[in-house]
Structure 1
């Protein structure tokens, strides 16, 4: 049975392949490549959690594992040099998504609100990754955001709208990117509050019917 988590995993799988493709054109010793590796490690954690969840839900666990579960497991290996090319196995996940595209489309049509929350999570994740990567690219030679760790800390502080001020963009393109990330933070936290409120109201309605 499809759910909003399946939709998010499907979208993140496609994004991870794009991120993987870009990383092959960036020098391995660069800070930008290091930042992409950090995000890839985070995506691996998400995919590994999804693999474990799928394995626990299946009645025929070994059948799932020996059909395509082992591919999901291998594609969840973090980006370390020894397993760099194994990540290409994620493309098989994309093939499965394309095979069940009509089911995903039907889910989106019949569960519009849940799908909207899923899309917001996905878009916010993409904006976070792109914003921190672009700011590091724009600022590494002129600003104080020079390392992958600086970009990660800056993006976390910016998306939460805390803004300590220890790291900040100085270029025009960097400031524009920061503005987009701030708006993204406001949108994602608004969506989270809306989702929680919707879930609480749903539970209350079920309780009143019982």
Structure 2
């Protein structure tokens, strides 16, 4: 089996696994699970990690130039390794974003808005989970409920930053930086898409104008030829 074939076959299954992870992680964080329920959630979360670990090594083994693939896919390695640290587990959801991006790309610009809306919603939701997970039990924390975390994520991704809720842990601040960068990146995607659409429309209008002009020139040439023929007949 080729690497391209493997990636094609596992694209949606990995997205489903990431969605299962998100649902389990959300349940664990929002409900603040303890005891057997927390253990069950952890089993599911670590199982999904195992699936991503397997996918990484299969891709590495199927790559034609393994060393080149390794150092050009360090981010994929980070998705597998860093989620061993609890607050960074949400990196696995990059898989869902990748599927959304490919779907939007295949559907051209008409569906980019769907991708941006989906990615923004996912980013806000997951950032709220991550910051609540890291902040809730910290001394002096202001973000102690999921509602607080969701409000904080909204005002942070829009770079409004009211300051009513702020992270007090290093992990929480790291999540805040990532959320702000993500918000700016999405704004860039929207701006670039809009600019591309405007350029395309202008180019299309110019093409139509050129086509119309060529048609008019051909009509005028035909009329001139007819007049010349009429004059030649009369002079004869």
Which TM-score bucket, shorter chain as reference?
Answer: 0.3 to 0.5
With the length of structure 1 as denominator, give the TM-score of the two structures: 0.47
Higher Rg: 2
- Answer 1 or 2: higher relative contact order, Cα 8 Å, separation at least 6: 1
Provide the TM-score with structure 2 as the length reference.
0.43
- Normalized per residue, which structure has more helix? 2
